[in-house]
Amino acid sequence: MYYQTTYKSPVGTLFLVSDEENLIGLWLEGQKYFQATLKEDPIINDQIEILHRTKEWLNRYFKGEKPNIKELSLKPQGSDFRQEVWKILCEIPYGEVTTAKVVAQKMHKEKMSGQAVGNAVGHNPISIIIPCHRVVGTNGSLTGYAGGIDKKIALLKHEGVDMTRYFKPKAR
């Protein structure tokens, strides 16, 4: 069974989902791939301990603190490849950015396309906590964020990233 609660954040309503022991999802309202990894609809329940701890973590994050990802028991659902990408995302320091190319290099898959890594980044089911918003294009483009580019920019600014080096991609 999956359990869900909501959290009102500065970037909109967040939907937190747990398997009772682990956080398995955190999606922004209207996010691309919203709850796509769930095998069944979650039950609304505000009494699940991991969901309380996640809300406390988010409170601290949005106050400008730098809570450690390891404080939460995370269990994102996805392929081994995606799991590997998400694990590397967890290593990106607060207030810093990286590229899909660098993530591929850390996976020792230098010949892999940035697009494959970017796809895994975009399908991250635990937004904000697994910091996919910290991945930018090699040319400085604020490429794909399933929650929306404006929310990506807001999160990066919140973390104190110097945004003068980055730009919004042109609409296609």
d(CA 159, CA 118): 21
State yes or no: is 90 an active-site residue.
no
Residue 152 to residues 18, 43, 72, 117, 169: CA-CA distances in angstroms? Answer: 24, 28, 22, 18, 12
Contacts of 13 by beta carbon, 8 Å cutoff, 6+ apart: 6, 7, 28, 29
Catalytic residue among 11, 132, 136, 142: 132
Residues serving a catalytic function are 132
